[in-house]
Structure 1
């Protein structure tokens, strides 16, 4: 799980092709006891901040969720909730036209 900070497009090698990446700040693994006792329905994590910043391919994003702040066990934890409109947000994203090798940021599919 991660919080998207930035979207970037960059060249990873000497070719002219570019890759769409996102810079994310990771969350910890879910609290094991809460996850177990909730039958895998309550996912509570700690935000890693600047220590957990990584770049990932934008195509690896699988879902849009909300991480809701909640103080638990004396820690600033976040619990995962479905993001209203997450399915709609997928429609207005980054599109790669594989036939032409071009990339477009357009909601007209």
Structure 2
């Protein structure tokens, strides 16, 4: 079964009453989440189109970020599937978001 990647607004608000944006990776009915680090009000989320509404002051940049992150994750998902390395949702998340080996503190 193929894995799916979607952008969602989690239904657990933080202490300020804002909801986190996350990418959900689902494989064999098991889901794992990668948070984008941005929080919005539930009224600013278009659940049908999976985008931030224009009523949010930074909607253009957030929608651009959402598209970039989804495209990145889907590209890496395709490369994993081409190598026959997609096992579980957690493994896929770990492989998609693993840090690059080129970065070094020194």
TM-score using structure 2 length:
0.30
Question: Which structure has the greater CA radius of gyration?
Answer: 1
TM-score using structure 1 length:
0.29
* Structure holding more helix per residue: 2
